[in-house]
Amino acid sequence: MIWQILLKLGKTAGIVFAVLLVYTLYEAFAPPTSGPGLMPWDKAVHFTAFFVLTGVALVAFPRQPLWRIAAGMSVIGALIELIQALPFVNRDCDVWDWVAEMVAIAALYGTILAARLRRSLGEDGERKVETKQAAE
């Protein structure tokens, strides 16, 4: 449902992506907070952030191939971890955070590919194949 709303917004999805990216970067580089968060497991936070961010990127940049958006999101995640490794940032670099982000991207893409496969199958479960003979 949220993806349908973003699709209707058109160019606004680009603004939503930019705002979410800025918020993600702020959370990545701001001093860590102590106390309970929304999710008790840090990797779930990384997964959720990149699942949503990648989904919005797909809507914001519909003419970009899926692999390019995945590569871009992967680079963003890696750069976040590399910057967190700098001593003056006062954050911990954890390769498993990046792994959680990549799993989120893969999960989203798996969902997209499954939807495409389902759409390409007919109601009887057999693959729709259009040939010139069938069209004639």
**Six-digit token pair at 10?**
């058109």
Domains of the chain, by residue range, sit at 2-30+42-126
pLDDT tens column, 49-106: 999 999 999 988 888 999 999 999 999 999 999 998 988 888 888 899 999 999 999 9
Block residue for tokens 């958006």: 69
pLDDT value, residue 83: 92
Is the CB of residue 15 less than 8 Å from the CB of residue 31?
no
> What is the full DSSP assignment across 42-104?
HHHHHHHHHHHHHHHHHHH-TTS-HHHHHHHHHHHHHHHHHHHTSGGG-----HHHHHHHHHH
**From CA 73, how far away is CA 56, in angstroms rounded?**
11
pLDDT tens column, 32-53: 776 566 666 788 889 999 999 9
DSSP annotation of 31: P
